[in-house]
Amino acid sequence: MKPVFSVVVPAYNEQEVLEQSYERLNAVLAGMGEPFELIFVDDGSKDATADILRRLASAHDNVRTLHFSRNFGHQVAVSAGVDVAQGDAIVIIDCDLQDPPELIPAMAEKWREGYEVVYGKRSQRDGETAMKKFTAWAYYRVLRALSGVPIPPDTGDFRLIDRRVADVLRGMKEHRRFLRGLFAWMGFKQTEVAFHRSRRFAGETKYTLKKMLRLASDGIFSFSDKPVSFILGTGAALAALGALWLLILLFVALAGHGNGLSALAALMVLLCGVIVLSLGVLGAYIARTYDETLGRPLYIVSERHGFPEEGEQFDK
Ligand code: UDP
Ligand code: MG
């Protein structure tokens, strides 16, 4: 039967939580009384995640699994799940139960009222360091100021999207993706449902600092060209300042008081810093452009289980 709800669950080394996530998701979705499918995307896990998923897919008709050939990252795993989802509404949820499955019925209700994107807003966050909360808070304010894209603060990727939104996303081929930015950019009728984000059910975070930084820079560089304008402005201001300074030094020297060596040295260091920083920002845009021109696939699926046979359609 064609599912009304698809749930996309990315999983990277999640052997400790998978069974529990399945149980809770299944219980909630079964309680909603509509046909549904659970799509787990194994993002190149190195632990028993793949085995557990194969077992779930063979035991339950509505569990489908995609297995990547290597780790492609959370945002790509979610995109792959959305690519194969058949439902009229698609829910994106983390596998570690930090996003409560029990919120899905409330999201579905908003969807029935006509909203096309219903995102979970974290009213409270447990088990996260003050540092993470602060950097997240600051980051969203900076991003908002830079990009002008109204990315709602305190939201993650936990959300329900309508089929139409999923189809638009499927047409977006960019590699360096920042999904919450893309959803905000798309528009549509959006609303929120508040929830209390609890700590991880088990295991460690799979978002290393490196992955976090990459996501943060993807957010900025894909949604704003202000860093480049900023460089241009800074460069122009510094050049003007330098010219003025030289003129003053010239007069000072003419008056017979020429000693500005240390000041010059300091100035040099400052200017070099600005130049290298500017090159870095330009480089970031060039690297992204290069990445996209290569035209490689966004992800590589090495195995899939639980999907209807090739060519076979769900009976309506
Ligand atoms: N994840 C993934 N690929 C990765 C890193 C994470 O698919 O490279 C998944 C992970 O299994 C989880 C979700 O993304 O379902 C969120 O990751 P995590 O809970 O580690 O992040 P945090 O909640 O600490 O920000
Ligand atoms: Mg988590």
Q: What is the mean pLDDT of residues 248-253?
A: 79
- pLDDT at residue 158 in the model: 94
Going by alpha carbons, the residue nearest to atom 2 of ligand 1 is: 74
Question: Tens of pLDDT along 162-194?
Answer: 999 999 999 998 888 899 889 998 999 999 999
Question: Tens of pLDDT along 187-242?
Answer: 999 999 998 888 877 778 888 888 888 888 888 888 888 888 888 888 888 878 87
Cα 302 from Cα 144, distance rounded (Å): 38
The full DSSP string for 198-251 is ---SSS--S--HHHHHHHHHHHHHHH--HHHHHHHHHHHHHHHHHHHHHHHHHH
Q: What is the mean pLDDT of residues 277-281?
A: 83
Is 77 close to ligand 1, i.e. is its CB under 6 Å away? yes
Q: What is the mean pLDDT of residues 120-137?
A: 81
Range list of β-strands (E), the chain = 5-11, 36-42, 63-68, 89-92, 117-125, 155-162, 190-197, 301-305
Question: Tens of pLDDT along 296-312?
Answer: 899 999 999 999 875 55
Q: Which atom, in ligand 1's list, is nearest to the CA of 98?
A: 23
The rounded mean pLDDT for the chain is 87
Q: How many other β-carbons are positioned within 10 Å of the β-carbon of residue 72?
A: 21
Is 87 close to ligand 1, i.e. is its CB under 6 Å away? no
Please, which pLDDT band fits residue 83 given cuts at 50, 70 and 90? very high
Distance 200 CA to ligand 1 centre (A): 10
- pLDDT at residue 316 in the model: 47
**In the beta sheet, which residues pair with residue 118?**
160, 191
